[in-house]
Structure 1
Amino acid sequence: MSRTKSALLSAMALVAGATGTAFAVPGGAGASGVPCTVDYQVQDHWNNGFIASVTITNNTAPKSSWAVKWSYAGSERVVNGWNANVVQSGADVTATNESYNGNLGTGGSVSFGFQGSYSGSNNIPSTFSLDGVTCNVDSGGPTDPPTGSRLDNPYDGAEVYVNPEWSAKAAAEPGGERIADQPTGVWLDRIAAIGGVDGGMGLRDHLDAAVKQKGDGELVIQLVVYNLPGRDCAALASNGELGPTEIDRYKTEYIDPIAGILADPKYVGLRIVTTIEIDSLPNLITNTGSRPTATPECDTMKANGNYVKGVGYALSKLGDIPNVYNYVDAAHHGWIGWDDNFGASADLFKQAATAEGATVADVHGFITNTANYSALTEDHFSIDEQVSGKPVRQSKWVDWNRYVDELSFTQAFRQQLVSTGFDSKIGMLIDTSRNGWGGSARPSAPGAKTSVDTYVDGGRYDRRIHVGNWCNQKGAGLGERPQASPEPGIDAYVWMKPPGESDGSSKAIPNNEGKGFDRMCDPTYNGNPRNGNSMSGAFPDAPISGHWFSAQFQELMQNSYPPLT
């Protein structure tokens, strides 16, 4: 429960506290005679800490900038804020607009929030002003007792948000009604997505819809935070709008507005799960330096530190909101399952989780296989087997990896992360949206033991040409349906990548989304060092990433495992 303190000025004067001091109301107020109102809410709090939100309504002439001021009577201190520049000097606090929310029309409102600390009692400020004009007088008082902390697993005991836009597209496909009620992630892949693109739903629209879906129960809504500067330095199909050095725009135009919206008290009853920056940090491990897979773009992002800074800033800002659960993207077993990558990746994640004001407490867990195709389990061979005197690790498919499937990798990587300094209670998510590999090509028995390669290739569920292939893979199928707590250490199987949304275009397609053309999405491409110079295995005639791809959606349903009924 939150405690709200809100009061309006009378048309002539107000009395502040018990001192009897009168404040004259200046002329120029709106029709009500009230120049401005302030709604100050303590959204949540815990031992010596709290989250507050402030909404200011202007009833005077329009403003192109604004400053809200108040004072604390006790030990309260502002730690950090969002949607405004919030600074404190002694007991006095001043919040000024960001570059994107300075305009405040007559009758218009703006909201911002902040994290604070206190000792003893946490008192509500008694007086507020907007640009020097008194708005609010309230005697204040201590907040309500703490309401609790984050859940160990936000998915337990909760439904998960069904995106009505994706659901409508799925239901419009022949047979799509069978999965149209499944929950999927909402992707915020550019600044414009926060407000909504081409008349579509924005972040507030999705959150409002989630509140309605929640009703009297519990609900998780899944958001993908995906817009780093120099995004995806090794894959042109998912390049983003921000250049390699535009870390300040990432902070002020992207993360801060998202944090401001998520902190709105109307959404406090939602369990908000965020997937933080897909494929970003692993690129700094595998695609930099002297490695044959290195790219100049990834070397740049490692050198300028903006991936680490961006992830740290996102974790810090979003982690300040008590009902937000951050899960950092941790690639998949076919990327960081090798000895050279495994521990180094965990160390890098720890570095990012302690950058830009973040701490490991801002990380609730990690997610693997996001938008990828790695099989959940491989039942017909294991890493410890030998065939004809050669270990399975030596097969061309496994290629000395320590793991052959996503579940074993994810559970082991969780232990590595804990040993690196993350909380022992962190949970893992696995994206199973496209890793079912069912249909007639799914093996029902191990391969022949004539060689280690025939044994592995004949029995593996994952039918990709190479484990490094990632774009619109031909023959893929829907995987396990979203579910909570399916295995030890796993918070949920999720469909974070909405089935039917393309990974990238099969050929160059001009667009205004900042998305390029990657040859790995071209079915005629014969590969590069990152996929062992193998064919790409991509589906033909694909649209740009994120756009609906009917032919692939139909194949995903056809090859679903478990099968659709």
Structure 2
Amino acid sequence: MSRTLARPRRRTAALAACTLIATAGATATALTSPAGAAGAAAPGCTVEYRITNQWNTGFGADVQVTNTGDPLSSWTLEWTYGGNQQITQGWSADISQSGANVTARNAAWNGSLGTGASTSFGFNASYSGTNAVPATFKLNGVTCNDDTGPGPTDPPTDPPTDPPTDPPAGSKVDNPYAGAKVYVNPEWQAKAAAEPGGTAVSNQPTGVWLDRTAAIAGAEGKMGLRDHLDEALRQKGTGELAIQLVIYNLPGRDCAALASNGELGPTEIDRYKTEYIDPIAAILADPKYAGLRIVTTVELDSLPNLVTNVTPRPTATPNCDVMKANGNYVKGVGYALNKLGAIGNVYNYVDAGHHGWLGWDDNFGASAQVFKQAATAEGATVADVHGFIVNTANYSALKEDHFKIEDSVNGVSVRQSKWVDWNRYTDELSYAQAMRNELVRIGFDANIGMLIDTSRNGWGGANRPAGPGARTDVDTYVDGGRYDRRINPGNWCNQAGAGLGERPQAAPEPGIDAYVWMKPPGESDGSSKAIPNNEGKGFDRMCDPTYEGNPRNNNNMSGALPDAPISGHWFSAQFQELLKNAHPAL
């Protein structure tokens, strides 16, 4: 990704002022003011032209227009390229091009711009040679940039030297999502918007994954942590904003799967502390970011492995036995909670698996105890834990409406069905609320909240049951009525038939702080065949659609989509599957 930046200008003209900023990032801003008569308005504007992604022959960009003049009922923005840039696809505006001249007219829904109101649109384009930022923009025929001071062709500054700042944050709020916008990751937004139909969801907030040390500064042209935080300040404006970070780089990471293995070996706990957690904590503690609500989800898919995938369990792996013996999962999580929890505006949420992993009697309570062990290790206390997150990057249905755990068919309990298999829970909501109660019982704060990742658990489309299954036997009853259409709830990789779930929202149910899209939809869970890479990620047969399974999915087929890239990389076929099967429907 290429970043180009021009410093903001001061407004010096009474009639109009226009600032051009070219950098990474984008978000749509809701319109706030009533429209006036077009043509009678004295236009003034702030234009942010952001190159969000760039490769050898093309780039993606977002443009934000803020009206600083009289209210407008419609708008036209014009610019001229200095090179051979050619727009190939656009969204949220009617974009046309003649030679080097580009005209962007408002869509039907975003034409009204009151004084101070903003709107955004984006596009993909081709180019060769250089990709310079346009020098001049015109809003409704009036030239912006009509002032003095540095202009858009000045040398880039990185990072911005004068981002918005906020006063120091006060005490933590009970729910960081309540009354707050949530950060839209511009890199994911650009990828989603470039997909057919993707603009329906591209403005949704998703998690920022810090899945290796290089991600802190920004690896391979991607935004680093400070880039995201600076963009979050811009998106925040004068209100409240939460930004979601995934802390994910434990030594010997994800010991029961190969697709998400990481860069650090099982014994490299000191590197984890000094090269990963300490630099993150130093950035988050910068007073510049004190006005943000920073949600950290801490080390996904780690601690539950110490219960379910160790000897003498039939699902044990040698790698998980090593991590239990050396204690570095517990130490690493404790250290992260201690360091990050000491920052006044950071809200730590610890991973707590999902119902299809920890819902059984011999997993549930034992896992809660391991969570407490980690929360009191390396100087951490339970006060460093604001809550827990479940179903991260997983597919478990939020609610199963057509059968309950108490149901029976012909005297046979639903718990005895092949699908439920003696689990105590049928869905993520019931599991999350029960796990919260257990965690409070063993000593966590009574006000802890739960997050549920609903990014890929919608299970809509033509195969979504409209009612319960027939009562001929318990398996027919459960299988005929369940929303979750996986072959087995142990299947976790790029699942065929999955759909986007509930959109992110705050406080949807008692004990639930938010539904979130922590796993960005469209990012692969793992490759369907071995692909060499420099990210430490291996090939897991559970991502191979021809794989016939293992004890962790009761030796069933994997249910994975074919032709997937390595974990974290964009997987267009998965994104299209999620759009098609979304529930609620798009």
TM over 0.5: yes
Q: 1:496 aligns with which of 502, 518, 523?
A: 518
Asked if 1:167 is matched to 2:189, the reply is: yes
Give runs of aligned pairs for residues 3-14 of structure 1, distance below 5 A: none
What residue number does 1:257 align with? Answer: 279
CA contact (8 A) 2:168 2:287 kept: no
1:66-107 deviations in Å (ceiling 9; x for gaps): xxxxxxxxxxxxxxxxxxxxxxxxxxxxxxxxxxxxxxxxxx
Aligned match of 1:448: 470
Per-residue deviation, residues 534-558 of structure 1 (Å, max 9, x unmatched): 0000000000000000011001000
Aligned to 1:47: none
**Unaligned runs of at least 5 residues, structure 1:** 1-144
Show the counterpart of 2:502. Answer: 480
* 1:183 paired residue number: 205
Partner of 1:549: 571
Q: After the TM superposition, which residues 129-278 of structure 1 pair with which residues of structure 2 at under 5 Å, given as runs?
A: 148-278=170-300
Contact 2:168 2:290 in 1 (8 A): no
* Cα distance in 2 for residues equivalent to 1:337 and 1:147: 38
State the one-letter code of the partner of 1:326.
N
The correspondence of residues 22-37 of structure 1 with structure 2, limited to 5 A, is none
Q: Distance in 1 between matches of 2:460 and 2:415?
A: 24
The code of the aligned residue for 1:159 comes to K
1:520 and 2:542 aligned: yes
Residues 253, 261 of structure 2: 8 Å contact kept: yes
**Structure 1 residue 362 corresponds to structure 2 residue 400:** no
Match of 1:508 among 519, 530, 533: 530
- What's the RMSD between the two structures over aligned residues? 0.9
Work out which of the residue numbers 442, 445, 450 in structure 2 matches 1:423.
Answer: 445
Partner of 2:423: 401
1:323 to 334, 345, 359: 345
The letter for the 1-side match of 2:411 is G
Alignment-mate amino acid for residue 364 of structure 2: F
Q: Runs (4+) of structure 1 moved beyond 3 Å?
A: 145-148
Secondary structure of the 1:536 match is: coil
Matched, 1:284 2:306: yes
Match of 2:321 in 1: 299
After superposition, give the CA deviation of every residue in 1:465-505 in whole Å (9 maximum; x if it has no partner). Answer: 00000000000000000000000000000000000000000
1:521 positional shift: 0.1
Q: Is the 8 A contact 2:168 2:291 kept in 1?
A: no
The answer on 1:342 being equivalent to 2:370 is no
Write the distance in 2 (CA, Å) between the matches of 1:420 and 1:305.
21
Aligned-partner SS, 1:285: helix
Percent of paired sites with the same residue: 82
Q: Distance in 2 between matches of 1:275 and 1:518?
A: 24
Extract unaligned runs of 5+ from structure 2. 1-166
Matching residue within 285, 308, 313 for 2:330? 308
Q: Which residue of 1 aligns with 2:413?
A: 391
Q: Deviations over 1:210-267 (max 9, x none)?
A: 0000010100000000000000000000000000000000000000000000000000
Cα distance between partner residues in 1 of 2:525 and 2:369 = 29
List aligned pairs for 1:64-103, cutoff 5 A.
none
Per-residue deviation, 1:146: 10
Q: How much has 1:149 moved relative to structure 2? A: 1.5
Render the CA deviation track for 1:328-374: whole Å, top value 9, x for unaligned: 00000000000001111111100000000000000000000000000
Structure 2 counterpart of 1:466, from 488, 491, 516: 488
Inter-partner Cα distance in structure 2 for 1:350 and 1:426 = 13
Question: Residue 433 of structure 1 corresponds to which residue in structure 2?
Answer: 455
Specify whether residues 466 and 147 from structure 1 end up closer, same or farther in structure 2 by C-alpha distance, changes over 3 A only: closer
Alpha-carbon separation, structure 2, partners of 1:196 and 1:488: 38
Kept in 1, the 8 Å contact 2:402–2:481? The answer is yes
SS in 2 for 1:255: helix
How many aligned positions are there? 420
- What residue identity is the alignment partner of 2:459? W
Deviation at 1:148, TM superposition (A): 3.6
Residues 553 and 147 (structure 1 numbering): CA distance in 2 closer, same or farther, change over 3 Å? closer
Matched letter for residue 256 of structure 2: A
Give the Cα separation in 1 of the matches to 2:336 and 2:170: 23
Structure 1-normalised TM-score? Answer: 0.74
Q: Matches of 1:450 and 1:163 in 2, distance apart?
A: 48
- Counterparts of 1:148 and 1:308, CA distance in 2: 30
The 2-side partners of 1:539 and 1:390 are apart by 34
Distance (whole Å) between structure 2 residues aligned to residue 150 and residue 271 of structure 1: 9
TM-score normalised by structure 2 residue count: 0.71
* Distance in 2 separating the partners of 1:343 and 1:427: 18
Indicate the SS of the match to 1:238.
coil
Where 2:272 maps in the other structure, the secondary structure is: helix
Residue equivalent to 1:18:
none
Deviations 1:421-459 (A, max 9, x none): 000000000000000000000000100111100000000
Q: Deviations over 1:129-183 (max 9, x none)?
A: xxxxxxxxxxxxxxxx996411000000000000000000000000000000000
CA deviation after TM superposition for structure 1 residue 559, in Å: 0.1
Partner of 1:374: 396
The match for 1:561 is 583
Whole-Å separation in 2 of the counterparts to 1:163 and 1:149: 26
SS in 1 for 2:303: helix
* CA shift for structure 1 position 389: 1.3
CA–CA distance in structure 2, aligned partners of residues 201 and 148 of structure 1: 28
Between the aligned partners of 2:427 and 2:221, the Cα distance in structure 1 is 40
Take 1:256 and 1:557, find their aligned partners in 2: how far apart are those partners? Answer: 38
**Residue type at the aligned position of 2:410:** S
- Read off the aligned partner of 1:491 and give its amino acid letter: D
Residues 449 and 172 (structure 1), Cα distance of their counterparts in 2 relative to 1, 3 Å cut = same
Letter of the 2:499 counterpart: G
